[in-house]
Amino acid sequence: MIPLPTGLRARLVITFTLVAVAASFLVATIGYELAKEALVTRAETTALDLVNRELSSISFPIGKLRPGEVAPTAKDLDGVAHALGGPGRSVLVEYRSLIAADGVMSMSDVPNELHGRAKQSIVTQRKIVRNALYLIVGAEVYRDSVGVPEATGLRAFVFFPLTDDERQLATLRTTLAQTGAVIVLLALVVALLSARQVLLPVRRLSAAAEALGQGKLDTRLPVHGQDELAGLTARFNDAAAALELSVSELRSLEAMSRRFVADVSHELRTPLTAMTAVADMLSDEADHLPEAPAQAVRLVLREIERLRELVEHLIEISRFDAGTATLNLEPVNVADSIEDCLDVRGWREKVEVHASQGLTANLDPSRFDVIVANLVGNALKHGEPPVTVSARATENGLEVKVRDHGKGIPREALAHVFDRFFKAGAGRARSQGSGLGLAIARANVLLHGGTISVRAQHPGTLFTVWLPHT
């Protein structure tokens, strides 16, 4: 099956060409039929005039003879046949038992229908006789008898060849076909030029739209003329200007928001440091306080720790938003780095590590530590043991997997686990953590040029990090 063209240019050219072909065919058909009708009419008129003139000039007595008249002889009939004859023509003159002929035709070549109709009036018929097309004219001669036409029984049949007319029609057909082909070629050229003229502004609009999609918001197009395409170009320019203004305002608001978060986070650091110091003192005394004050102290300590983590995460996120986060790569022993991360946070006994001691990778050690810490911390907080960390070298990078064996993340929440402040399930709205840990882990992975993904297991959840060789 031939595929239909989908491009606007192809459809315009095909439509234009089909219209030209249809118009050419219609004009050629009408012209041919008119010419054919004119030729046939001319041939019939000429033939009828000739037959009428020659038959009207018969001077010998025929039909019902009057006193003193002598019946016509074969010589008389031959004279009529000869008078009606001409180049290529055949004539048959029939009178009672006499038949005179001038040409190759015989009475058997006269159509029966024409022979019968010729008794009443002069008639014509086109017919192929002996592999050639003829116009056959048949007529019976009438004689005036006291003002009343009287049939005489003399009938003449003249075969007019239409070879020349057929030749003219064939020449006309060839000329019309050639003219139609030229018209179609001209229409095709005009269609191509017209399509180019129409599609050029469309292509420019497409290129400008693509440039807008790539972030070049200052893209504009010159407006030429006052047609529909010029109006469309003007509206595109207006839309681009409005989009540029809106994006500029959004970027300004976003920058202000980022500065606000960064400033607030930094401002919170000073009182938070003091609160942490006081909290450490209270922690030492909590066990010596009565039960109610002790619970209150422990609650304050948890919230202070949660606030400290939130502020640190906000500061880290603000660095990524501002584009100031940098990558300091160096050769790192992956197994040692993972174990150091767990030891510093007191998780060594809670997590199983599967990584060969000889495995090394070119990483930013501090950011790799953040990635592992956030993934493992998330598994310990929201999953169930055993929690495992495995690392292995792949063909083009390093693969690290963190898995827990808990209830797992709901399927509808998997696509949002790396969103900022997203917490799966209503029960986790007040859980420990800032809701930024996985977003920070993802940002650090992307800074390395890697990928991070999450997948449900049975049971538990599996996070997979891939970092490329650099």
Task: Note whether residue 188 is domain-resident.
Answer: no
pLDDT tier for residue 433 given thresholds of 50, 70 and 90: low
- As a whole number of Å, the CA-based R_g of the chain is 53
Each residue's pLDDT tens digit, 298-339: 777 777 777 777 767 666 767 666 667 788 899 999 999 999
What confidence score (pLDDT) does residue 419 get? 85
In the predicted structure, residue 430 carries a pLDDT above the cut 50: no
Neighbour count for residue 347 (Cβ, 10 Å): 17
**Residues 93 and 228 both lie in one domain:** no
Task: Note whether residue 249 is domain-resident.
Answer: yes
Mean pLDDT of 415-419: 86
What confidence score (pLDDT) does residue 410 get? 86
Given 135, 169, 203, the domain boundary residue is: 169
Provide the CATH number for the domain around residue 453. 3.30.565.10
Each residue's pLDDT tens digit, 197-227: 777 777 888 888 888 888 888 888 888 777 7
Residue 120, helix vs strand vs coil: coil
In the predicted structure, residue 297 carries a pLDDT above the cut 80: no
Percentage, residues of the chain above pLDDT 70: 86
Task: Note whether residue 374 is domain-resident.
Answer: yes
Task: Note whether residue 71 is domain-resident.
Answer: yes
**Residues 368 and 293 both lie in one domain:** no
Provide the CATH number for the domain around residue 76. 3.30.450
**Residues 145 and 18 both lie in one domain:** yes
Q: How far apart are the C-alpha atoms of 69 and 72, rounded to whole Å? A: 9
Q: To the nearest whole number, what is the mean pLDDT of the chain? A: 84
Each residue's pLDDT tens digit, 222-272: 887 777 778 888 888 888 888 888 888 877 776 776 676 666 666 666 676
**Residues 308 and 358 both lie in one domain:** no
Q: How far apart are the C-alpha atoms of 423 and 409, rounded to whole Å? A: 10
| pTM tops 0.95, yes or no | no
- Dihedral angle, C-alpha 63, 68, 73, 75, nearest 10 °: -120
Task: Note whether residue 206 is domain-resident.
Answer: no
Given 278, 297, 325, the domain boundary residue is: 325
Task: Note whether residue 181 is domain-resident.
Answer: no
Question: 338 and 370 in contact (C-beta within 8 Å)?
Answer: no
What confidence score (pLDDT) does residue 45 get? 93
**Residues 449 and 394 both lie in one domain:** yes
Nearest CA among 363, 383, 377, 348 for reference residue 436: 377
**Residues 289 and 336 both lie in one domain:** no
Provide the CATH number for the domain around residue 282. 1.10.287.130
Task: Note whether residue 99 is domain-resident.
Answer: yes
Given 325, 356, 374, the domain boundary residue is: 325
Q: List for the chain the helix, strand, coil content (%; round to 5).
A: 55, 20, 25
**Residues 361 and 444 both lie in one domain:** yes
**Residues 331 and 315 both lie in one domain:** no
**Residues 26 and 129 both lie in one domain:** yes
Helix (H) or strand (E) holding 80: helix 74-84
Task: Note whether residue 307 is domain-resident.
Answer: yes
Question: What is the domain extent for residue 334?
Answer: 326-468
**Residues 13 and 152 both lie in one domain:** yes
What confidence score (pLDDT) does residue 429 get? 43
**Residues 420 and 457 both lie in one domain:** yes
**Residues 261 and 392 both lie in one domain:** no
Buried b (16+ CB within 10 A) or exposed e, 447-469: ebebebebeeeeebbbbbbbbee
Total structural domains within the chain:
3
What confidence score (pLDDT) does residue 453 get? 93
pLDDT tier for residue 92 given thresholds of 50, 70 and 90: very high
CA distances, 174 to each of 133, 167, 177, 287 (Å): 20, 11, 5, 115
Q: How far apart are the C-alpha atoms of 164 and 174, rounded to whole Å? A: 15
Each residue's pLDDT tens digit, 334-379: 999 999 999 998 998 999 999 988 899 999 998 899 999 999 998 9
